[in-house]
Amino acid sequence: MSRFVHEVPMRWSDMDAYRHVNNSAYLAYLEQARVAMFFDRHTGFEGGTIIARHEIDYLRPVVYHPEPLRVEAWIERIRGAGFTVRYEVKDGGVIAARALTLCVTYDFANDRPRRLTDEERDVLRSFGDDGSP
């Protein structure tokens, strides 16, 4: 098992008045990687997933350039009705940010969290972190 890697293009409009990528753009970068990780490649999460929490540590500023950022993602913890996704956002091989997202599987028809299925657990386990990209 190894980290999931997704290349995320920056947009010129991601920069703010201080001439670096605005902190709010990182949520979109994480979302793009998470969607590619689960929904673009697996159908097991169609039952519903919501975001309960985000945490982001900004380690260095990033200035727009045409090369994409590298987002490495892995599953840190699996619980009964949720899981934690960890990320490292890299700019030219240097970690620019570290983040986590707490995801909760959700039953929208009954408006409440639902337990992870065996299929979902198998998918999540495939994204463990062995420390190498």
Strand pairing category for 4-8 and 94-107: unpaired
Structure tokens at 31: 């979302």
- For position 123, what pLDDT does the model report? 87
Q: Domain residue spans in the chain?
A: 4-125
Displacement of CA 6 from its chain's centroid (Å): 9
Which CATH code, of 3.10.129.10, 3.30.2270.10, 3.40.50.620, 3.90.226.10, is assigned to 4-125?
A: 3.10.129.10
Q: If you compute the radius of gyration of the chain from its CA atoms, what whole number of angstroms results?
A: 15
- For the whole model, what pTM was predicted? 0.90
C-alpha angle 16-99-123 in degrees, rounded to nearest 5: 130
Give the per-residue pLDDT at 41.
64
CA angle 83–42–70, rounded 5-degree value: 70
The phi and psi torsions of 119 (rounded to 5 degrees) equal: -60, -45
Give 10-residue mean pLDDT values along the chain (133 residues): 90 93 96 87 71 98 97 96 97 98 94 92 86 52
